[in-house]
Amino acid sequence: MCAQYFAKDMHSGKRSEIENTIYKRMLENLVGSGMVVENVLMKSISLPKGLATSIEQKLQAELDAMRMEFILQQEKLEAERKIIQAKGTRDAQLIQAEGLTPEILKMRSIDAFQELSKSPNAKVIVTDGKTPFLIKD
């Protein structure tokens, strides 16, 4: 087995699989030599610095990609939430608009002018001449 295979698996927590693979290979290679392999135990693996760095960079890149996928998923959900909210607002406005008749609009206009007339501040009100204009003295 090549060192890259072992190194990658060591970092992913497959130590027992590596030990079993080495054990099987040793049994195959030592058949008929009079040697007996009882067990293979790995204490640690020291990799060349460049290989270890490459493996760490690859693992970091994989984590970064997973993080980005998570962020994209969150953004999609947020976009869907905003669309649903906007549709709700639009539907509410349509329902309210259906109930606004010319008579109701006149009444609301009168109410607004009456409230405005109660203010002690100076006012200049420009209308189209059709809108009711009531100000109390």
Residues 63-74: tens digit of each pLDDT:
999 999 999 999
Domain boundary assignment for the chain: 1-47, 102-137
How far apart are the C-alpha atoms of 34 and 37, rounded to whole Å?
10
Provide the pLDDT for residue 2.
Answer: 47
Q: Comparing 133 with 73, which gets the higher pLDDT?
A: 73
pLDDT of residue 13: 62
DSSP string, 14-29: -HHHHHHHHHHHHHHH
What are phi and psi for residue 20, nearest 5 degrees? Answer: -65, -40
What does the pLDDT average to over 65-92? 96
Phi-psi region at 32: left, alpha or beta (left = phi > 0; alpha = psi -120 to 50): left
Alpha carbon separation from 123 to 111, 115, 118, 128 (Å, rounded): 16, 12, 11, 16
Q: Taking 50 as the threshold, does the pLDDT of residue 137 lie above it? A: no
**Confidence band (pLDDT; 50, 70, 90) for 10?**
low
- At 106, the pLDDT band (50, 70, 90 cuts) reads confident
Please compute the mean of the pLDDT values over residues 43-58 and round it to a whole number: 86
Confidence of residue 102 (pLDDT cuts 50, 70, 90): confident
